[in-house]
Structure 1
Amino acid sequence: MSKRVYWLWLTTRDDLGAETIRKLTTSFGTPEFLYGATREQLMQTGLKPRQINALCDKDLSRAEDILRVCEQKKIQIITIEDSAYPDRLREIADPPAVLYVRGTLPDFDRAPGVTIVGTRSCSAYGLRMAERFGAALAKAGFTVISGMARGIDTAAHRGCLKADGTTVAVLAGGVDLCYPPENKYLMGDIMLAGAVISENPPGTPNEGFRFPIRNRIMSGLAAATLIVEAPLHSGALISARQAFEQGREVFAVPGPLDVPNSAGCNRLIRDECARLVTGPMDIVDALAPMLRQKPNAGAVRTAFLRDDRKDSMWDDTPVRPYQVIQRRKQPEAAPLEPLKIPDLPIVPEPEPPKTAQPRIPEGLSGCERAVAEAIAAGADTVDAVSEATGLPASEVAAALVLLELDGIAQHKGGRCSLCGNLNF
């Protein structure tokens, strides 16, 4: 029997996240040994009862069905122990054990990846920057990685394709499902110039909670992540945090201070979580040692500027000097008398108010509210929240992502907490 069957069996077990699967395969050596493990052996690993029950289900029919579908649809299956698996992705704390691939997965050692992400509801400026950075980085010899979502992602893929570059789309659902539907032709072009990949088997729907989880793959594949345009509560900022925690470079395109869609990028730059970029050469120069050949700076700048410089911030039109305006001389005013300030009584400084426990807002789903209430009660890790709520760790992680996007909770350094500035 194919070894891949056991990998597929393992990755389709409920309640097992990517980090848990990595620990199990490290402990048991191979998925075959894990498949043959008894309940008594599994109980010694510290797994929860429901996880042990999932691993005691030895039914291989679902794995065999996935193999059959992948063969019919020409979907390649790459496991974490295969030589074709990207080395940089293998280094993260929670790498996907299996990748489903349509197209040709590029050699990330020869053409390092740069992930470009941002908001779906972007401005014309954001679209322009994403497309131009995608084209310029492709000309420099990088693989452009994004998520094929509406807005910034789509523009980054198109820019790379226009420059005849290599691009990879990381999907939240199955690689046999195009999302969004209007990107059907773009998806075909991506598969011709690169690959479409996912950690989820064919037929997996594009449910909302899957998108933030897949972001770790986009940042994990890349040597750097570029945030083009993102509001304060954006999935792109989660990608930036994940890239930062993975030890990857993070760059951000600045934007107008009075535009909400640029607030996330500007804050990343202010907090020194991302490096400010004024053009593609800022990224190329920082990552140049990873490239096999020295990039042509002129070709990179040309791809970024293109021919439509009239609306570009890099317009070559000479700037007309300011005219000096002569002002009429005003009559001298009479000197002012010094202001007399009466003595004021000394008022004691009020005591600082006691910090109140953040109030959990209304309108949350049952799972999100349960997770928020568990954190408020003192549970500060995913496992602790899972124990307190009885929810699987995967559902807790997904709920945490949604709470983080809403500014209700945060998950940093493995610790969960409610945000202290909730005003509802």
Structure 2
Amino acid sequence: MKKNISWLMLAITLAVAALRAQPPQTQPIPENILVVRSDSLQGLVGARALFPLRGGLKGEAWAIADVLATGSRSPTGEHAPRIQIAQTDPTLKKNSPTLVLSWQEGERFGTACLTQTTGLLTSPSTRFTPGLIAATDIAATVEGKAFSAGRSAVLVPGNLTQLEAYQAVWERKAELLRFLVLAPWLFSLALLFAAWRGKSFGNPKIFGGIALVLWADLLLGSPLLERLPFSYSVTEAARFYGIGNDAAGLFIGCALAAGFEVPALLAVALTIGAPSLGANNGCFLAALVGIMAQEVGKLPVRKRLRAALAALLGIALLFLGLARWDASRGAGVQTHLGQAVSGERVGVVRLIGRKLAMNGHLLVSSPWSLLLLTSGVLLARQRAGRALIAGGAALALNDSGVLAAAMLLLPLAAQKTQSPPAQSGAGG
């Protein structure tokens, strides 16, 4: 990629990240609202939103009613603060706004309707996606302030027709997710077949095109990623916006495999990590480590250690600066990183511990471990140390790092499936 285009990518990324850093115009909800549950919202008028009925770590014993009442997806004690959700007929007239909740077992979404208001509900938890709130936001909405993991909903313009269109997109993506489990098996077989034939099936132009498409999509608000079975999944309540570890890993791997120059690689990293764009901190760091490994590997051996230490210091300062900036923003727009630094949510040490625990579980249970192993072995066979460093960073720095690392290494391994091993230090 020509250097002037690389610098242009970086400039555009910085400009768009800054322009999108401010939250949209919203209206606060009324104070002192009531909350009730109903079997149906038919005929009820008010601002609406969907909230996912799934989410939380494997092995956690919780029910959706507990999540709504406590604002937490983790098990809570009997004496934990909680709101009361009454069972009542929503057709009864009330003198104050009422938040009516309706959900059915087996469905992907519940519905909330706030009477005596108009528009759609949203919240900072979903980066103000119209018509979408987290289940943990219900308690915060009733309290009118942050409550456990939830944050209070606000009002934005919209109508029921728009909400139904959004739901159709999210439901369709959830259906496609069922087939994603086949991807690591197919990719692994393709890599092994190419290695057996002794041929590379990676094309830098194709990888460059994929990276550019992902870059443009994130700058435009992810209209493509929200429809593909990659990246975040609204129905699973694992990530509501930005870029997920699978798409982020592929983004980094394709950019490295395409031979992007440093300014373009920095644009990729910032697009992934900027809170107003990808908001994926682990893959942001992995991208920076990948850039470092690529550039340090080009130096004479005697200069690599000093350059690597300087680069790591630069990465740490850049990440700290991003975290501090995020923490300085209002609580309503901070990402998890900003909340951890500012003390609004779980601390950094506990955040790291949670990521390590999740990675350990996925290493022995996820089919993506097969693709990670296949790509890793092929790259090790070719002595592609720089690629393995990037993959190792993606594995270590994400709570689903197995997925991020597998997708990052895939395009790099696809270029290096030929039989003769590369010279030591090359092919990174």
Which TM bucket (shorter chain)?
under 0.3
TM-score in terms of structure 1 length: 0.26
More helix by share: 2
Larger CA Rg, structure 1 vs 2: 1
RCO greater where, 1 or 2, for CA within 8 Å and sep 6 or more?
2
